Amino acid sequence: MYAFTFHRPQTVRQAAGLLTKNGDAKLLAGGQTLLPTMKLRLAGPPQIIDMTLIEGMSGIEQSGRTLTIGAMTTHNEVNTSPVVQQAAPVLAKLAGMIGDPAVRHRGTIGGSIANNDPNADYPAACLGLGATIVTNKRRIKADEFFTGMFSTVLEPAEIITKVIFPLPKKAAYQKFRNQASRFALVGVFVSKRGSEIRVAVTGAGSNGVFRVKSFEEALKKRFSPKSLEGMTIPADGMNSDIHGSAEYRAHLVGVLARRAVAEAIGKPAA
Amino acid sequence: MSGTGIGAAVRRKEDQRFITGKGHYTDDINRPGQAFAYFIRSPHAHATIKSIDAKAASAMPGVVAVLTGAELATDKIGNLICGWMIHSKDGSPMKMAAHPALASGKACHVGDPIAVVIAETLPQARDAAEKVKVDYAALPAVADPAAAQKSGAPQIHDIAPNNTIYQWHLGDAKAVDAAFKSAKHVTKLDIVNNRLVPNAIEPRAAIGDYDSGAGTFTLWNTTQNPHVARLVIAAFVGMAPEHKLRVIAPDVGGGFGSKIFIYPEEVVALWASRRVGRPVKWVAERSEAFLADAHGRDHVTHAEMAFDADGKITGLRAKTVANLGAYMSTFSSSVPTYLYATLLSGQYEIPHIYCEVDAVYTNTVPVDAYRGAGRPEATFVVERLVEVGAREMGQDPAELRRKNFIKNFPHQTPVIMTYDAGDYNASLKKAMELADYKSFAKRKRESARHGKLRGIGLSTYIEACGIAPSQAVGSLGCGVGLWESAEVRVNPTGSVEILTGTHAHGQGHETTFAQVVSERLGIPIENVLVVHGDTDKVQFGMGTYGSRSGAVGMSALVKALDKVEAKAKKVAAHLLEAAEGDIEFKDGKFSVAGTDKSAAWGDVSLNAYIAHKFSGAELEPGLKEGAFYDPTNFTFPAGCHICEVEVDTETGNTEIVAWTAVDDFGVVVNPMIVEGQVHGGIAQGVGQALCEGAIYDKDGQLVTGSFMDYAMPRANHLPTLTVDTTMTKCPSNPLGIKGCGEAGAIAAPAAVINAITDAIGTENLAMPATPATVWAALQKTGMPRAA
């Protein structure tokens, strides 16, 4: 690790002010990506702005058919929250599949979304549920938020404060892990809310999380794994590396989508 | 009998300290005034080092020194060596290239140490390291062993044209050719034994401490064999005279072979300590360990097995290219030769075997012994050939094995070894019963109903442990003897210290060696202290590897205990005023035959030291004896592992649903510890089969340089293991022990791959059989996907 100046603002406004003043500063929300890269000296931000003293940044609240999760809420809190388990069990389960217990007790939803790791789970949940990401400046729809690998529409001094999830009627997340890192080699999130069907894929795409419109259209006719039978997506644009070819990833998107739909409607996976 | 003797499943004495954080590892040791070392390593696989500019780095805060290969040469520090001479077919000696502790002139692999920064703190050393300017001119590199010998491949060392270290062979080529000519069936396989990164929990570490007053050196080091380290560093590297170098291997957190070898970093720690006049400490980071610890395996093999009309094996031939990496590590040459080809007979009566091995240099981390060392590679070749042969001939794989088993002992194989004892049918039979082999078809149908392909795979492996006798290994090129020593020091109060030249880095010697003493002297294991890992305490020893500590180390202990008992009987005779020949010793009590006179162990030990009952002319006071033990043969543990898998055809994921291991380890000292060794070995073997694999790209960069890309086996890769034993005593050592440390890792890969290939119906499957690999193999079979 390189030396850095450690800031501990008390308010979001102070944090944003520090970000404006220090162009190279990094927010520390949970640090589960940032700190390992700093330890390896792959990153050396001169300023670290710790978010933990800012009040009101974490917590879970249900209001009607929406669930609001504070940006600093840890994966473990989401995983074990009775509110989430009741209102959106898919989210509780997804949070429990992130990393290991140490990661889940430190990593936060805001940190994960802002980082937009192409293999992370939360971006799939946001896109797969049509979440709204709330920042200190505006409200952003998930469909507009994620712009590519490790990139989002967040502006330099913009800070995520909470994420609002509309509650689905049916939803499931299927994650096929990279054997080494345990991140999603491919993860597919499906949801049905009224007539809105969403299929979001993480891990597979070389440009980060994406929706599969062809699958969504097929599922609109009937929300059943049978609707996706034989369907696949092109290997173009899929990641290809030592862990799996583009063809394998494209194939897994179909397999996991069918399994996710089966899980969502309460049928055992084929 | 104290209840803590041989065969008792007593809990490990050392675990209290390990699991409560009270272990004492090298990194826990800090010397007054110590400075920290940070190595600058080549980012190139192959490059000329044009210049090293350390001016800016030397001026950085806290920097004590920046040292390079130039200073190393000035100080006349010698090269690291490979201690096992192999001669090629044409009689020429192996081409051992110079291996300086700091590369000079040329870097030969990514991670090759180029320079070292010594600073007050580790962060200061790291900061300064970034300021050292190394001017590299990158050269073309080769990482693939199969490509290293091709014309036009980059040449790594001048001494080795075509990067070829040796072209060795074993066996009778003509007889084998004749066997193949008359064969009824020939099975052929191309096999890649994947390269592995050892990854012990504790990374390597070294502290060099030079005492300029006494002119002595101390090295704390994560080593499996402190005396061998001292010998090599003294005699070959010339860093310090042997009698002025103390090597201490304190608690060591796992080795698996990777801590046998003498590495550049410990030499540099000692040298730098003398240079800067302060203790110098180095601890590897995990990412550094990937680039600096010797890797394992990495063979490319074509193998063939010939069968007659009855399915009897009539011959085996194999041609292997073994990747030894950029330099020859300490025992690297022996692994693909005498630890590999000599085991190609497996458990089978094979009249003719011929094996050719080319060892090559590549621009990769050096490769050396890793749990099993050569024997997993041999077992994989033999057990895949037998399995595939059975399938090709339409025979039951278990039956074909049984038909070819060696049944009479001793058995001389055509590849040097004389198997002394075994009952291969017994372990196969027991394993098949425990695995309910006969109901497999039913389970396969059940799996199919759930859309899964089920497969079953056997591995009836053999290994050779306790490499010895010294005379024999010497004739095969080994630079050292492979005996072991022990010393038994009885205290006046009857408690005992035993000193052994073996070293424990997870095996539980503090318990098992104490059990041997407990059995013999009738005292509880709490009264026995096991001392190892310090060249100032233990006079000499060869360390721990090759599952040798029980078979060789405990045999030395038994020999020393024989002497202790003999001396104690003399003391008891004086104490009990009886003739020495009338003294009997049993369950910790000395008695006079035919009388009720007796003396407890403690009475005799006390009398040995107070010496009130005998004169110096009659008997020397004290009770301390030592022994050296050189075995008369290798030991031959063997057994049968049966793996059952379910393959998800849609994802290619393999789940191991059942595992049965029946091993013959000879006499077992502690069944609980043995079971643990088997569990760990299987886990490592499953790791090799399912997920582990070091991958280099064409430029020689290690793609799998961290746990983000290098997949270690996890608990979820394994089912509950069914582990059992059969027993034939090893006839060549006093306790009848064969050794158990490597069996799982040797047996497992073939069992897993035999099971998966059985499930998916194609033999064309490389390790590691990751989901992506299995899925790709399935695509080629045209097999219908499960619904």
Cα distance between residue B485 and residue B553, in whole Å: 7
Of B650, B691, B711, which is closest to A255 when you measure between CB atoms? B650
User: Are residue A67 and residue A91 in the same domain, yes or no?
Assistant: yes
Domain boundary among A131, A166, A201: A166
Q: Does residue B436 register a pLDDT over 70?
A: yes
CATH number at residue A87: 3.30.465.10
Q: CB neighbours (10 Å) of residue B252?
A: 25
Whether residue A55 lies inside any domain: the answer is no
Residues A236 and A257 in one domain: yes
Does pLDDT of B203 surpass 80?
A: yes
Question: What is the model's pLDDT at position B776?
Answer: 96
Do A195 and A149 share a domain, yes or no?
no
Examine residue A148 and state whether it is found in any structural domain, yes or no.
yes
Q: What tokens were used for A239? A: 């990641």
Given a cut of 70, whether residue B168 has pLDDT beyond it is yes
Whether residue A106 sits in one domain with residue A20: no
Looking at the predicted structure, is the pLDDT value of residue B363 above 60?
yes
In sign, the C-alpha dihedral spanning A262, A263, A265, A268 is: positive
Question: Do residue B362 and residue B375 come from a single domain?
Answer: yes
Same-domain pairing of A161 and A71: yes
User: Does residue A57 contact residue A71 with C-beta atoms inside 8 Å?
Assistant: yes
The reply to whether B11 falls in a domain is: no
CB proximity A63 to B under 8 Å: no
* Residue B279 and residue B303 in one domain: no
Q: Give the span between the Cα atoms of B203 and B644, in whole angstroms.
A: 34
- In 10 A of CB B579, how many CB atoms? 10
What are the tens digits of pLDDT across the range B681-721?
A: 999 999 999 999 999 999 999 999 999 999 999 999 999 99
Give A122-125's long-range contacts (Cβ < 8 A, gap of 24+): A122/A94, A122/A98, A123/A200, A123/A202, A123/A208, A123/A209, A124/A94, A124/A173, A124/A184, A124/A187, A124/A188, A124/A189, A124/A200, A124/A201, A124/A202, A124/A209, A125/A90, A125/A91, A125/A94, A125/A165, A125/A173, A125/A189, A125/A200
Q: What value does the mean pLDDT take over residues B186-207?
A: 97
Instruction: Provide, as residue numbers in chain A, all residues whose Cβ is less than 8 Å from the Cβ of B653.
Output: 176
* CB proximity under 8 Å: B 300-339 to A: none
With an 8 Å Cβ cutoff, is B650 touching chain A? yes
**Beta sheet of B583-586, edge-to-edge order:** B583-586, B589-592, B598-600
Same domain, B317 and B441: yes
* B772–A contact, CB cutoff 8 A: yes
Q: Inform me whether the C-beta atom of residue A105 falls under 8 Å from chain B C-beta atoms.
A: no
Closest residue in A to B650 (Cα) is A255
| Of the residues A126, A146, A166, the one at which a domain ends | A166
Check whether residue B274 and residue B318 sit in a common domain: no
pLDDT the model gives residue B188 = 98
Residue written as token pair 């073994």: B322
Please report, to the nearest 10 degrees, the dihedral formed by the alpha carbons of residues A68, A72, A76, A78 taken in order: 0
The CATH number of residue B677's host domain is 3.30.365.10
Of B629, B659, B675, the position where a domain reaches its end is B629
Tokens of B348: 């089978």
Angle at alpha carbon of residue B265, lines to B33 and B194, rounded to 5°: 145
Q: Do B622 and B668 reside in the same domain of the chain?
A: no
Four-CA torsion A149, A153, A155, A158, nearest 10 degrees: -100
CA angle A59/A60/A64 to nearest 5° reads 145
| Number of domains making up chain B | 3
The tens digit of pLDDT for each residue in B325-362 reads: 999 999 999 999 999 999 999 999 999 999 999 999 99
Task: Tell me the CATH number at A193.
Answer: 3.30.390.50
CB contact under 8 A, B775 and A1: no
Residue A54 lies in a domain: no
CB atoms within 10 A of CB B178: 15
Assign 3-class secondary structure to B318-361. EEEEEECCCCCCCCHHHCCCCCCHHHCCCCECCCCEEEEEEEEC
B568 and B604: one domain? yes
Report yes or no on B409 lying in a domain.
yes
A134 and A184, same domain (yes or no): no
Q: Are residues A130 and A185 both part of a single domain? A: no
| CB environment B16-49: b (16+ within 10 A), e (fewer) | eeeeeeebebbbebebeebbbbbbbbbbbbbbeb
Closest residue in chain A to residue B451, using alpha carbons only: A270
Residue B573: its pLDDT value, please?
Answer: 98
Residues on chain A touching B785 (C-beta within 8 angstroms) = none
Nearest-CB residue to B775 (from A180, A242, A248): A248
| Candidates B123, B708, B776; nearest CB to A181 | B708
Q: Of B367, B315, B302, whose CA–CA distance to B339 is shortest?
A: B367
Kindly report the nearest CA distance between residue B534 and chain A, in angstroms: 34
User: For residue A269, what pLDDT is reported?
Assistant: 53
Q: Closest-CA residue in chain B for A185?
A: B772
Choose the mutation target among B654, B717, B718, B770 for the interface with A, i.e. most A CBs under 10 Å.
B770
* Residues B392, B511 share a domain: no
Overall average pLDDT of the B181-203 stretch: 97
- Cis geometry, peptide bond prior to residue B410 (ω within 30 degrees of 0): yes
**Residue A82 above 50 pLDDT?**
yes
Q: Is residue B302 classed as helix, strand or coil in its secondary structure?
A: strand
Residue of chain B whose alpha carbon sits nearest to that of A3: B123
Residue A189, in any domain of the structure: yes
B711 to A179: CB separation less than 8 angstroms, yes or no: yes
Q: Could you say which DSSP state residue B105 is in?
A: S
Contact A248 B650 (CB under 8 A): no
Candidates A213, A233, A228; CA nearest to A269 is: A228
The pLDDT of A64-76, averaged and rounded, is 97
- Distance, in Å, from the CA atom of B483 to the CA atom of B539, rounded to the nearest integer, reads 13
Partners of residue B451 in chain A, C-beta under 8 Å: 270
- Please state, in angstroms and rounded to a whole number, the distance separating the CA atoms of residues B491 and B787: 72
CB B499 within 8 A of CB B540: no
Q: Which residues of B touch A40 (CB under 8 A)?
A: 287
Do A30 and A101 share a domain, yes or no?
no
Give the domain-ending residue among B629, B651, B667.
B629
Residue B782 has pLDDT above 90, yes or no: no
Bond prior to B768 in cis (omega within 30° of 0): yes
Let me know whether B730 and B599 are in one domain: no
Q: Which ipTM did the prediction report?
A: 0.95
* Nearest-angstrom CA–CA distance, B180 and B176: 6
Which of A176, A242, A245 is nearest residue B709 as measured by Cβ atoms? Answer: A242
Please write the tens of the pLDDT for every residue from A157-192.
Answer: 999 999 999 999 999 999 999 999 999 999 999 999
Same domain, B668 and B745: yes
- B490 lies in some domain: yes
> Is the pLDDT confidence value at B565 over 60?
yes
The answer to whether A252 contacts chain B (CB < 8 Å) is yes
Choose, out of B291, B650, B692, the residue to mutate when testing the contact with A (most A CBs < 10 Å).
B650
* Number of Cβ pairs < 8 A linking chain A and chain B: 45
- The reported pLDDT for the residue numbered A268 is 63
CA B610 to chain centre: 45
What value does the mean pLDDT take over residues B262-277?
A: 98
Q: Do A180 and B451 touch (CB under 8 A)?
A: no
Q: Which residues of B fall within a CB distance of 8 Å from A251? A: 775
Could you tell me how many residues make up chain A? Answer: 270
Asked whether the predicted pLDDT for residue B1 surpasses 60, the reply is: no
Interface of B with A in 281-300 (CB under 8 A): 287
* pLDDT of B2 strictly over 80: no
Beta carbons within 10 angstroms of residue B580's beta carbon: 13
Half-sphere exposure of A130 (CA within 13 A, CB side): 16
Q: Is residue A237 part of a domain?
A: yes
Q: Would an 8 Å CB–CB cutoff place B710 in contact with chain A?
A: yes
Question: Is B588 part of a structural domain of the chain?
Answer: yes
- In this structure, the answer to whether residues A152 and A215 fall within a common structural domain is no
Nearest Cα of chain A lies from the Cα of B199 at a distance, in angstroms, of 14
A181 lies within 8 A of chain B by CB: yes
Does B651 reach chain A within 8 Å, measured CB to CB?
A: yes
d(CA B598, CA B593): 9
pLDDT at B785 > cutoff 80: no
Residue range B301-316: mean pLDDT, rounded:
98
pLDDT at A133 > cutoff 60: yes
pLDDT, residue B515, reads 98
- Judged by a CB distance cut-off of 8 A, whether residue A270 touches chain B is yes
Query: In B465-484, which positions are buried (b, 16+ CB within 10 angstroms) versus exposed (e)?
Result: bbbbbbebbeeebbbbbbbb
Considering the domain architecture, whether residues B324 and B445 belong to the same structural domain is answered as: yes
User: Are B707 and A248 in contact (CB < 8 Å)?
Assistant: no
Confidence label for A267 from pLDDT (cuts 50, 70 and 90): confident
- Which of A180, A244, A270 shows the shortest C-beta gap to B772? A244
Residues A74 and A159 in one domain: yes
Give residue for tokens 């070294």. B206
In a domain, B168, yes or no: no
What digits encode the pLDDT tens for the residues B372-382?
A: 999 999 999 99
Average pLDDT, chain A: 96
State chain B's mean pLDDT as an integer.
96
Quickly state the pLDDT bin for B783 (edges 50, 70, 90): low
Same domain as B662, residue B589: no
Are residues A182 and A150 part of one domain?
Answer: no
Structural domain count, chain A: 3
Residues B741, B647 share a domain: yes
* CA B94-B97-B99 angle, 5° bins: 135
A56 in any annotated domain: no
Per-residue pLDDT at B787: 34
Q: Give the residue carrying structure tokens 């960069």.
A: B701
Model confidence at B422: pLDDT above 70: yes
Q: Does A180 touch chain B (CB under 8 A)?
A: yes
Tokens of A33: 């990506």
Domain that holds residue B565: 483-629
Whether A140 and A191 share a structural domain: no
Q: Does B709 touch chain A (CB under 8 A)?
A: yes
Structural domain that includes position A93: 62-166
Interface test with B, best of A229, A248, A253 (most B CBs within 10 A): A248
Mean pLDDT of B404-433: 97
B178 touches chain A (CB under 8 A): no
Please report residues of A whose CB lies closer than 8 A to that of B709.
180-181, 242-243
Q: What is the CATH number of the domain that holds B209?
A: 3.90.1170.50
Mutant choice from B707, B775, B778, B780 vs A, greatest count of A C-beta within 10 A:
B775
